[in-house]
A = this chain, B = another copy of it.
Amino acid sequence: MTVDVPSGMPAKVETPAPGDPRLARLSLNQRTTAGWSLREAIDGTRAAGLDSIGLWREPVAEVGVASARAWIDSAGLRVSSLCRGGFFTASDPAERAAALASNRAAIDETAALRAGVLVLVPGGLPPGDRDLAGARCRVVDAVASLVPYAVERGVRLGIEPMNPIYAADRGVVSTLAQALDIAEQFPAGAVGVVVDTFHLWWEPGVGAQLARAGDRILSYQICDWITPLPADTLLARGMMGDGHIDFATFTRAVSAAGYQGDVEVEIFNADVWAAPPDQVVATMARRYVELVEPYL
C-alpha cells in the first residue's frame, strides 16, 4: 500500500509515472525537500518525472550560479522561480542600500538561471518600528528602484503578498489586492505577483483579485493551511489535502485569470522535512494530480 507523507494516510490515487502529461506543469520548490542538496533536488525532480524546479539563492550560491545552470540544463529542467529577493523595508539608509544591492544580485542570478520570476518577499517592520504604512511605502520605493535594473536583464519581479501572520516580521504586503495596487504602478512585463494559496486562501474577494491580476500572475505556489497551526509559524504549511484550502476553487480562478505557468509546491513543515524526500515528492505529485491539476 502506498501511503502519503507525512500523514501516513493511504494514497487516494496512484503515483503518476514520469511522462504522465498531468505532471507537465508541476514544479518542486526545493525548500519542500529541504534535506536534499541542490544536486539531489535536481536529480529527484527528474526522477519523479517533473520538468520544473523552484530554486533558492542560498543553495545555488553554495555551488555557484554557473554550475547550477549547467546542472539544470543538463537535466533539461525549467526554473519556475528563484526565491528570493525583497526584505527591503529597512528605514536605515545603509541597511536599505545593502538590501537593494542584494536584490540587484538576485536579479542577476535570476537572469543567469533563466528563472521565470524573482520572488520578492517584502520584509517586515524594522526592529522597534511600528509604522506599518511607512514600511509599505518603502516596498513601493524599493520596487521602483529595482524595475529598471530588472527590465534591462529581462527579469520579472513577483511581489508575494504574505499571510497577515507574517505582517510584522516577514511581509508587510498582506493581500493580493494590496500587491496588485503596487504592481500596477509598473509595466506588466516588469512587475507582477506571486500567488500562494497559504497566504491568500482566506482573502475576501480573492477570486475577483485573481481575475484582476490576469497576466501579472507570475507564479502559482501551493500548500495547505493546517490546524492546529504548528508551534513554529514559519513551518506551518501543510501538504495539499491535509488542511482547509479548497484547491479546486482557487485553482479554477487562477486558471481563469489566464495563468499558464508552472505550479510550484512550496512546503515549510518540520514533519515534511523529516520524511524521506523522494516520498515527499511522490505524495506531492499524487495530491497535485488529485486536487489541483484537474482544475487548471
Contacts and interface: CB of A to CB of B under 8 A. Distances in A.
Contact of A202 (B167, B233, B249): B167
Interface in A108-137: 125, 130-133, 136
A203 interface: yes
B165 A229 contact: yes
Interface stretch (A17-25, A93-101, A239-247, A258-266): A239-247
Interface in A151-206: 163-165, 167-169, 174-175, 177-178, 181, 201-204
A1 interface: no
Interface in A217-252: 225, 227-229, 231-233, 243-246, 249
Contacts of A244: 125, 130, 132, 168
Contacts of A203: 164, 174
Given A164-B165, A202-B174, A132 B231 contact: no
Contacts of A204: 136, 174-175, 177-178, 181
**Chain A interface helix/strand/loop/mixed:** loop
Nearest to A161: B204
Contacts of A228: 169, 233
Given A169-B228, A178-B204, A231-B232, 10 more contacts: A130-B246, A132-B246, A133-B249, A136-B204, A164-B164, A167-B202, A174-B203, A174-B204, A175-B204, A228-B233
Nearest to A136: B204
A130 B226 CA distance: 12
A164 B175 CA distance: 11
A165 B165 contact: yes
